[in-house]
Structure formats: structure tokens, C-alpha cells
Amino acid sequence: MKKILLIPLLLLVSLPVFGQIQIFQSTVSDAETGEALAGVNIYDQSTGAGTITDINGKFGLKAEPSDQIVIHFLGYEDQKYKASELPGNIKLKPKTDQLQQVVITASKERQQRTQVPVAITQISPVELEQTNPINLEEIINKVPGVMMVDLGNEQHSMAIRQPISYKSVYLYLEDGLPIRATGVFNHNALIEINRAALKSVEVIRGPYSALYGSDAIGGAINFITKDPTALPLYKFYGATNNLGYSKAGVLASNTFGNTGMLGILEYSGRKNGYREHSDYDKASFFFKMKNKIGDKAYLKTSINFIDYKTDMTGGLDSLHFYTKDYVSQYTFTYRKVKALRYYTQLDYRLNEHNRMKAMVFGRYNDVAQNPHYRIKDIRGTSDRAKGEINDNKFWSLGTVIQDQYTDGNLKLIMGLSLDYSPNSYESYFIEVHKTDDGIYDAYVATDSLLSWYDVNLLNVGYYTSVAYKFSDYFKLLGAFRYDNINYDFKNYLDASAYSGALDSKNSFNAFTPRVGFIVKVAPELRFYANYSKGFRPPEVGELYRGVKVPVLEPVYYDNYEGGTWISLFDNHLNLDWAYYYLKAENEIISVRLPDGSRENQNAAETGHKGLEFSIQYLLSPEWSVRLNGAKSQHKFLVYKPKQNQDYSGNIMPGAPEWVMNGELKYQPSFWKDSYFIIEWFRVSPYYMDLDNTMKYNGYHIFNLRTGKKFGNFKLWFNVLNLTDKLYATSASYSWGRQSFRPGEKRSFNVGMTYIIK
């Protein structure tokens, strides 16, 4: 009888068990990359209780089994699950709506691109995956108004709101940190980027010195690296083409408890290409680790190393270029680069309003060259020339400390950066032999020093950024930065040397503000406008190399910009445009002196204006089309290099009026995980000389890209320069001679990736 009475009692006691609160745990990752996602919002629709994922994408939430759990993260599609049905790994899909794109570079924090009044474009992980670039310009040139110029074997120059040039008017970042120190810009600096480590790329067009300091004038490009994955991932990949190129690499990543780790090794290079003297080798290593420290902090550490060597072929004269004779005049010139970058960052959430970041970083960089552009014929001889071998090194030690305060509609960021970078430079005179065919075939090194100096570079910067949302329809943003840049120059040669400046100390100070606003007219329509000021101090080479007295001042730039973002037809059609006017004062130019020598002087003013646009249309789930472009004008407002010369009002050389790119993409539903892409890139005619008398006709090129996943395998096939067009990536005219940098011939590129999860 007692047992019978106990049965209903036990049933009553057990009823609450089925509705009791439990702790449900899971991990959130990116569906495309597998990376753990930190800061994802997880909340219970029934109770309103919530939490966020930690640095390794993990979370735990108390809920009843029947409660609806929502997973929300900026830039990703929301997902909902019944608590009892939460998977062990939740894979979030990035949104395809361009207005919902999330960027980091504009404020150093995640936010929608339409929340910052600036022209910014992101190359997403999916675009990188489908492009499978051999060189970085294949992805950089997808951005409206951007032309990265291929000079062969990853060597390059850039044109963003500027003509094609080698000037230090661009800032190259890796995870928000400049890859080189102020004062030692190199137009080939993207050689030092580890392509294998890239997750996405963000390009800001126009001055952004208010946040990042010197050189962020024509634009700033931020290369964002991969993060450790939430679950084990191993990737093996390789590629080759018909022009001597090959690549092979391996990636391994996993999260162990509170620690996530990622490592990548890659080799790429070219052997026996169609151009003479055009081999190169590049080995790279990348490692990143993320550690969770308690509930409020995490530590992130990154190491990046590049070892690169290339032959330097130089340009072709008009005869060799148009007859497709790809001879190299230079048989011994080279460039060698070793680059090491390291940083450790502590991210600590003080309270619900304050988040502190503190970073320590280091760099080592060595560029050794026997450069073709230093080889000059000796007048009065037919078989002799002169050149130089040089070595430019620097190492860096620095820190960045930043505090972010958020309270309702107010967001305030304050930061301090310190960068100490000793730089050394040596160059030696060489005697060069020239054949009757005009080939520089041999050289003799000498102990004659042209330059030998050290410069200790110290850059201290303070920056503040504030954003206030007055309403859903109006947001005001402002920022400013103050930089104090010091050069301590020590010359080991006397005043009679090529670089004969006396020991000296030079200091440059700059205050660079930025202010802008955003007006939301409708959920799918926004306008923005901004004013920003940029600056760059004289480069070390401009200030001290080949001069007797350093006298240069910083160059300042004023930028006025306005633009629009609009999305129509249920986000199927996305448009944005930006109009800008950029004026530069105290431009540093090379001026010929009465005795025939040249000297760098602050002796020019330039004006730059243009309209940039992007149109993206999703025709159907299978078909999409994109058209990007820019119509620009770059003029000398004042430029009088000699008493009898006046180029004021002339168009600057290397400044095409139009740069455009387009893409038609087909992703068939009947053949899952496949794609077919046709690309088009157009550069209009431009002047090659200061007198505006010689023009290069520009070019069109087409590329074809296709790929398909088969389980753990992915195969891809790209045809670059589909029509085998003869074109020059850059063309110039000086001293009565045209010079062309030939673009790549048609290449058939094939690659394979094998993934183990």
C-alpha cells in the first residue's frame, strides 16, 4: 500500500525536472572560415536573459529546454534554436547585403560601414576564396577608384585618389597596425604582406591621418588576418600556371580549452618565366594565438615573417614592348626583403562602458638591392655605366594604448601610440659594363660609399575619436590626432660625399582633424559628408639621401568629400558613390638646379578631384553583377621646377581619367558549391610626361575564374588576361625615351585545396 502511494508522489516531484533551468553551452563560428566568433550576442526570447561568446566563440546560458534562443552578431544572419536543440557548433552566415557589411578600419572597432562618413570598401573572405589571387592587385583592384600597379613578382606601385607614383601617400596596415615605420615608406611594401594569412581586406579612400597618422592620404589599406578556428582544421593547398609560377602551403588551427592557435607555412615563386631575368622566391610563416584570461580579458599574439628575393627586370622601350620582345636589359639586378612583425595585445573590459586595449609590437625589416633604376650610362662612353648596391634596415619597438567609452548614443575612443624605429642605410658605387646590344651584363663592386648613415625615428601620437547619435536620422562624428615625429640623423661620411648632410635633428609636428556626419533619409538611403586633413613628413631618403643640407617641410592635404549609400528592391540593388576634392600644399618635388643637379624642394601644389561609384545587383540567387569605377582629375596647381618651365595647370603624368572594373558571377543551383566569374578591368588613356604631349592609350583586360568543391577537396581554375592583350601596367616618358612595364601574358592558373575538419 505504501509503495502505491509513493508512485503519484514521485511523479509530482519529478514534474518540475522537465521544465527546470539548465545551462546550455555551445560554440559559435563563421560558416565560411570556421573561425571562432567573439562577442556574439546570445539571448533568451522568453526571459530576456543573455550573454556573449568569449574570445574562443564559447558561451553558456541558463534557460529552460523549451525556451527560444537567438544568436545575433553584427554582419551575420540571425539564427534561432530551441534551447534543448542547440547544436555543439553554431555556424553563422555573413550577410550579403552591402549596407550591412561590417568594417573595422574606420574606427578600430566593429561597426556597419554605413555608420562612418567615409568611403570604405571591404573585400570579404568569400571574395578572397573565389578570387584565389596570384598577386594582391587581383583583389585590391576590385575597389572603386583603386589601381594597384603590377611591376612584376609582387613589386608594385599604387594609385588611390592620386596618379600612379612611388610617393609615401598610402598607409598599409596589418590588423590595424602600420607594417612600416613613419619615414621609411616603400612603394613595394605589400611584398611584406603574408597573402596566405589574409581573412579580408578593407580599403579607406582619402585622408585618414586623424586616426592613423602620417601617410594615410590617398588611402589606407588594412589587411586583416585569419583567427584561430573553433574546431580542428587542417588545410593543404597548391597552385601552378603556364608562366613558371607555383605555390604550396599548409594551415593548421584549433582551440584547446581557453587557447586558440593558428599556423601557416607557404612558399611561392616563379622559375623560367616568359620574361628574361624574372625569377623570384617567397617563403612566409604566420602564427596567431588567442588566450582567454578570466571573464573580462583576452590576449592576442601574432608573428609574421617574410623572406623574399626577386630579379629586377625593369621596363621596356617602345620597340621591345610593341614587338613583344621581352628581353631584360638587366642581368644581375635584384631585390631581397626580410620582414618580421610581432605584436601582443591585451583586451580588457573594465566595465559595461569601458574597454581597454594595450598592445606591444616589434618589427625588423631589411631591404637589400642592386636596383635597375640606379643604373645610368656614363656620358662619353658606349660600354660603361654606373650603379649602386644598397641596404636599408630598420627595427621597431612600440606600443598602442586605447580606451573606448560607450554610453547610450555616445562612443568615445582615446589612444596613445609610441613608435621607436632606428634606421640604417648604406649604398656602394658599382661599375657596370654595357654590351653593344644595350644589355647591362656585368658589374664590379667597389668600396666607394655613396651613403652611410643612421637615423633614430621616434613618433609619438595622440588621437581621439567621438561619435554621437542624435537620433535615428542624424549622427555626428569627429576625430583629431597630434603627431610629434623626430629624426636624429648621424652621417658617417664627410660633406664631400653624395649624401653629405651634417649630423642633425629634425622634428615635425602635425595636428590632423576630421569631422563628418551621416543623414539617414530612409532605412535604405543614407547621405554622408566629411572634411579631413592629412599629412606626411619628408621621408628619410628625401630628407638626407643625396643632399648637403636637409631643408624639407611636411606636406599637408585638405580633403572635402560627400557620398551616398542606397539599397533598393529588397537589397537586390546596392549603390554607393563618393565625390571628393583633395588639395595638397608643399608637395615635395625634384627641382633641377642651375648647375644641372637636382634637389628635393617643397615647391608644388596639386589638386585632385573625382567621382567614385559602385553598383551591385543580385539578378537572381544564381546571377549577380558588379560595376565599380572612378572618374578623376589630377592637376598641378603650381609647379615651376625651373625659371623657364611652368607646368602649372597641366595634368599630372600617370593619371588616367577613368579606372573601372566589373564582374559577372554565376553560381548554378544545379551544381552546388561552384562558381563562374568573368572580370573586366579598364584603364583609360593618360599622359606620360609633364608637358602633356605623350599619351599611353590605356587598356582593357578580362579574367575568367571558376571553382568547385567536392567534399573535402576544392579545385579552381583561373585564366588571367583572357584575350592575351598586350598592355602596360604603367608607362612613362622622360629624357626622350618611353618606358613600359608589360602586363602579364595570358596565364592558365590551376589550384587545389584539401581540408581536414
7: DSSP letter: H
CA atoms within 13 A on the CB side of 580: 33
Q: What are phi and psi of 356, to 5 degrees?
A: -110, 140
Q: What are phi and psi of 400, to 5 degrees?
A: -130, 125
- DSSP, residue by residue, 369-418: EE-GGG-EEPTT-SSEEEEEEEEEEEEEEEEEEEEEEEETTEEEEEEEEE
pLDDT at position 641: 81
For the segment 632-653, the average pLDDT, to the nearest whole number, is 90
What pairing do the DSSP bridges indicate for beta strands 22-30 and 89-92?
parallel
**Does the structure show a pLDDT above 80 at 45?**
yes
> Grid coordinates 653593344 are at which residue?
436
Alpha-carbon gap, residue 451 to 690, rounded angstroms: 30
**What's the whole-model pTM score?**
0.93
pLDDT at position 597: 54
**Does the structure show a pLDDT above 50 at 14?**
no
84 three-class SS: helix
- pLDDT, averaged across the chain: 91
- Domains recognised in the chain with CATH numbers: 21-92 (2.60.40.1120), 222-756 (2.40.170.20)
**Does the structure show a pLDDT above 80 at 61?**
yes
> In this predicted structure, which of 186-195, 302-311, 491-500, 740-749 has the lowest mean pLDDT?
491-500
Q: Which residue did the predictor score with more confidence, 637 or 549?
A: 637
CB 286 within 8 A of CB 225: yes
> In this predicted structure, which of 3-7, 181-185, 190-194, 317-321 has the lowest mean pLDDT?
3-7
pLDDT tens-digit map of 514-542: 999 999 999 889 999 999 999 999 999 98
Widest distance between CA atoms in the chain: 125
Q: Describe the strand order of the beta sheet including 89-92 as a list of residue ranges.
A: 58-63, 22-30, 89-92
pLDDT at position 3: 47
Alpha-carbon gap, residue 543 to 747, rounded angstroms: 42
268 three-class SS: strand
**Does the structure show a pLDDT above 80 at 209?**
yes
pLDDT tens-digit map of 588-597: 876 655 555 5
For the segment 720-724, the average pLDDT, to the nearest whole number, is 97
Long-range contacts of 622-625 (CB under 8 A, 24+ apart): 622/666, 622/667, 622/668, 622/669, 623/664, 623/665, 623/666, 624/664, 624/665, 625/662, 625/663, 625/664, 625/665
62 three-class SS: strand
Nearest to 583 by CA among 629, 632, 634: 634
Nearest to 487 by CA among 546, 554, 587: 554
Q: What percent of the chain has pLDDT over 90?
A: 69
pLDDT tens-digit map of 74-87: 888 888 888 888 88
pLDDT tens-digit map of 225-253: 999 999 999 999 999 999 999 999 999 99
Alpha-carbon gap, residue 650 to 657, rounded angstroms: 14
130 three-class SS: helix
